[in-house]
Amino acid sequence: MMDWTDTHCRVFHRILAPGALLYTEMVHANAVIHGNRERLLARDASEQPVALQLGGSDPELLAQATRISAEHGFDEVNLNCGCPSDRVQAGRFGACLMREPALVAECVAAMREAVADLATPVPVTVKCRLGVDEDSEWERFAGFVDTVAAAGCDTFVVHARNAWLKGLSPRENREVPPLRPEWAYRLKQERPGLTIWLNGGIADPASATAHLAHVDGVMLGRAAYHDPYLLHRLHAAWTGTALQERGDLLRALRPHVQAELERGLALKHIVRHVLGLFQGQPGGRAFRRILSEGAHLPGADWALVEEALAATRRDRFAA
């Protein structure tokens, strides 16, 4: 979710799903230490709880970045061992770390030690795949988890498919390797003391709910970004609360939009995250068009959002 789940996206998703744990995009440890923290670690108070996802493979650098993240108010630090992109591989982090469980364990131990003296140490978790390339042995996957768990990690977010480091694009890596959620189920069954979250191929409330019979939680990525109302449907289903109208949810974002516009931020940087709100609904195409064509123009403000919402009402009544 790099370049997608920034603070504006997370503020909107918090409105949709008040009880969800939100994740940042992956940020490399070096960037946290040496980069523009005001931008990279931007976080609105309304986002909490929110986890910062780190990339890297140097225990010392990851430890420094974890400490900085905790001091910036993040509620969890998640080490990414699942991203298959060429850029990530070149830096020896992401999914290629699945083949170096001892190094991942060393990283986790250093990250945990970096925040051990805090009044409330933030948890360090790991996101991983089932394996890389042609790995197909349960024992290899379970051994990775056991080695990392021995270093103190008790929560694993399992993207339940392999990552192919050669021959597949990042997009193909999310679609081509077969899903095997039963491996996550088995992991939870055989290691009940661990917290296991399932990721991959979850695109509707029914399947998300069904997985909860076998694991502790589910993570949604692009499905929730492209159809953000899915988050709200899940929230309503799992809390027994009534669904709110899409327009009402979007209007709850207005104070954030107004505050950011007053700070000089262009509207396009915020509304790009709401384009899928009316996905599959009457007026959805007009909603996206109005925002896409107008949000980048000088002086674009909340009135443009209301214009886009009005288009959905017109199409609804016409239908």
Secondary structure (3-state) at 178? coil
For 210-216, the CB contacts below 8 A with 24+ separation are 211/181, 214/181, 214/184, 214/185, 214/188, 214/189, 215/184, 215/185, 215/188, 216/188
Please, which residues have CB within 8 angstroms of residue 258's CB and are 6 or more apart in sequence? 302
| Catalytic-residue membership of 81 | no
Set 83, 96, 107, 153: catalytic member: 83
Please, which residues have CB within 8 angstroms of residue 147's CB and are 6 or more apart in sequence? 101, 102, 104, 105
State phi, psi for 283 to the nearest 5 degrees. 85, 0
- Asked if 131 contacts 141 with a C-beta cutoff of 8 angstroms, the reply is yes
Residues with catalytic roles:
83
